[in-house]
Amino acid sequence: MVDEKTSKSASESNANQTTPAPKADSAKGDSSQGDTKPAAKAQAKKKEKPPPVEDKPFPEFIQEHFFPSLQSALQEEGIDDIQLSLDQRPLAVIGIDDSEPYWHVQGQWQGGDRQFNIAFTKDDIKSSKVFYFADKGSQPSTIEQFMGDERRVNLDLMVLYTVQRLNAQKWLTRN
């Protein structure tokens, strides 16, 4: 009989000891979760993302972001003497008599023997763009839409499309 009382009292005391512990833990867990949520919201407000580089003014974006990225990508393709410039001028394509100035990104290498132009209809990277090129000092005679199907225009896509277009001309690698 003593064994039954001892075992009952031992199990009751164990039950009493273990029951409060989970309540205390859950109470601590609730209060600590409540404290971290406002702190996390405050940190989220403090860590705002900087605006994307594509939102910078057009000339700044081209000169500070597009040119270095494009130059790096072309160097990876083996073009070390690339000269990039940005200016406003009319389209210089045979058969086009448009005197309206457009923003032009011009790239030249091999002493000017190879040249490409990307003309923007507005000072916005999301505006309509055209591409034309010339080889061995000739005047460009073909003008093509550039990135016309892209809804989203960003730095990486502009560099990718430029490199792809030059590669399609067989100026970067041979088939």
pLDDT at residue 39 tops 80: no
pLDDT at residue 3 tops 70: no
| Confidence band, pLDDT 50/70/90 cuts, at residue 115 | very high
Say which residue, 151 or 157, is predicted with more confidence. 157
| Confidence band, pLDDT 50/70/90 cuts, at residue 128 | very high
DSSP string, 40-51: HHHHHHHSPPPP
**Mean per-residue pLDDT, 35-53:** 69
For the stretch 48-98, pLDDT in tens is 888 888 889 999 999 999 999 999 999 999 888 999 999 999 888 887 777
What is the pLDDT at residue 156? Answer: 95
What is the pLDDT at residue 26? Answer: 47
Q: CA-to-CA distance for 77 and 85, rounded, in angstroms? A: 20
E-assigned strand segments in 8-142: 83-89, 102-109, 114-120, 129-135
% of the chain beyond a pLDDT of 70:
73
Say which residue, 83 or 12, is predicted with more confidence. 83
DSSP string, 122-146: SSSTTS-EEEEEEETTPPP--EEEE
Q: For the whole model, what pTM was predicted? A: 0.69
% of the chain beyond a pLDDT of 90:
43
Tell me what percent of the chain is helix, strand and coil, each rounded to the nearest 5.
45, 20, 35
pLDDT at residue 102 tops 60: yes
Structure tokens at 112: 């000017």
Mean pLDDT of the residues in the chain: 80
Residue 109 phi, psi dihedral angles, 5° rounding: -155, 175
**Mean per-residue pLDDT, 20-26:** 50
Which residues are registered as beta bridge partners of 118?
105, 131
